[in-house]
Amino acid sequence: MQMLLTTLGFFALTGFFIWRHLRAGGMPAAGSGASAAGGAGVPCARCGARVPSGSSFCPKCGIPQQVFEVVSAGSSAAPSAGGAGALRALVRGDMCVGCGTCVAACPEPGALTLQGKLAVVDNALCKGHGECVAACPVGAISVNAGTAANRVQVPLVDVNFETNVRGMYIVGELGGRGLIKNAINEGKIAIEHVAKVLPPGAARDDGDAHTLDVVIVGSGPAGLSAGLEAHRRHLSYVVLEQGSLSDTVRKYPRHKLLLAEPVSIPLYGDLWIADASKETLLQVWETIVANTGLDVHTGQKVENIARDGTLFRVQTEKAAYVARRVVLAMGRRGSPRKLGVAGEELDKVFYDIVEMEAFKGRRVIVVGGGDSAVESALGLANQEGTEVILSYRGDALSRVKERNVEKIQRAIANGRVQALFRSQLREIRPDVVVLDVDGEKTILPNDHVFIRIGGDAPYAFLERLGIQIVSKDVPVGGHDVARTG
């Protein structure tokens, strides 16, 4: 009986959110979060209307102003040796993996703490010693003079998330704002702008009957939110995904709880998000896709996007699409190289690490011989009770930065990492891995596999499209630099 009630409750909840997506509207009522009248405030970053102090949403356009934190952040300048101000640590939010190594290395209690998935510096306590710089396994920290901020490299976009390439938008993690709620908000905002600037349907004389209004690349929270908004506004569209639906979320550790988004980030988009396991989240999203008829094409990696007059030609491995606008909602990790071995499709296999602490006490193997593999092994070894094996087909680590060589050698010497040179992963099974170690078959117990053998960086792809990449300093305390993957 209890199981029946639980099942009925789940479908009732799912039905409610599907109804939300199918209904017209979806924008918060004017003045949501605070009275629209009275009170000092600042202009809305998008429409210019006065936003009262303490208000979450713009009273005119209904958009939460927090979503523009990175967009509005100032461009960073290279620090000078003689810059004014005390030395303090700066964390690059787009590189930090939340392993906690810097926190343990810092001699000043409380100067460095983990807030969610990001190392955050307390300016009042940081003395600029630099131990955190040497300890960070991914090179995400520097010590500089001046105002402390989280430095990120992001595509240049405006308040509609349109890039310098007119008609092309970037939303979600690829834009440096990986929180799920931010991604949902940005996907909706971008499509609202697409619908606003396109001529009415009958007046669209560019292209032919097969020309789409918008192609959305990626089916994570940003891409699904954009797709739902395009569907609701009756735009012609398609959502393209190189892997499976919501592949980034799907690759989170099994049963991982998706921690609540900071309450200071209001939800503007319609896609459901709450405290839930990844399985619950994916089940609800898959049900929404199925019941709305959202047009998602999986297994279609985008190989090229080219301008053709006022249109864009989007080429995938399987098909070609012509569209008036393109929304890029891809992840930051690009397209990883794969080993092509049996079992590589299992949920236990990862090509990047979203949260090091999620693998505490687990048996893991990292495959690769470059800096990314070594840095992953070092970060995982810093987690309590984690057994780490580094598998590399070569005789020694010859393609690794000197500082990483010294760190991994110390980790191997003190037993924190076991190195298997002249080894190749041959098969991945649910509870073990099969390796060829110096010509001998070896079977080892295993919980997770990390394949770190390189890939195609998404920013190189963006630059080929003509999209400008800039460095920005987001003030410490902003939420956008924390990542969900």
Instruction: Identify which of 250, 258, 249, 428 has the alpha carbon closest to the alpha carbon of residue 347.
Output: 250
Task: Tell me the C-alpha to C-alpha distance, in Å, between residue 82 and each of 75, 86, 87, 233, 348.
Answer: 20, 11, 11, 54, 49
Read off the pLDDT of each residue in 199-219 and give the average, rounded to a whole number. 90
pLDDT band for position 412 (50/70/90)?
A: very high
20 or 237, which is more confident: 237
- In DSSP terms, which residues pair with 435 in a beta bridge? 425, 442
pLDDT in tens, 414-424: 999 999 999 99
- Is 467 a residue whose pLDDT tops 60? yes
Is residue 84 within 8 Å of residue 67, measured between CB atoms?
Answer: no
- Is 177 a residue whose pLDDT tops 50? yes
74 or 406, which is more confident: 406
pLDDT in tens, 272-291: 776 667 778 788 888 888 88
- Is 304 a residue whose pLDDT tops 90? yes
pLDDT band for position 147 (50/70/90)?
A: low
Q: Give me the pLDDT at residue 404, please.
A: 86
Q: Give me the pLDDT at residue 26, please.
A: 42
* Fold match between domain 2-27+62-68+157-333+461-467 and domain 349-456: yes
Domain 2-27+62-68+157-333+461-467 has CATH 3.50.50.60: yes
**So where are the chain's domains?**
2-27+62-68+157-333+461-467, 349-456
Task: Tell me the C-alpha to C-alpha distance, in Å, between residue 19 and each of 51, 165, 181, 228, 237.
Answer: 30, 35, 20, 12, 21
Read off the pLDDT of each residue in 107-121 and give the average, rounded to a whole number. 85
pLDDT band for position 353 (50/70/90)?
A: confident
Query: Among the listed ranges 14-18, 218-222, 351-355, 473-477, which one has the minimum average pLDDT value?
Result: 14-18
| Domain covering 349-456 in this structure, CATH number | 3.50.50.60
Query: Among the listed ranges 113-127, 263-277, 357-371, which one has the minimum average pLDDT value?
Result: 263-277
Task: Give residue 462's identity as a one-letter amino acid code.
Answer: L
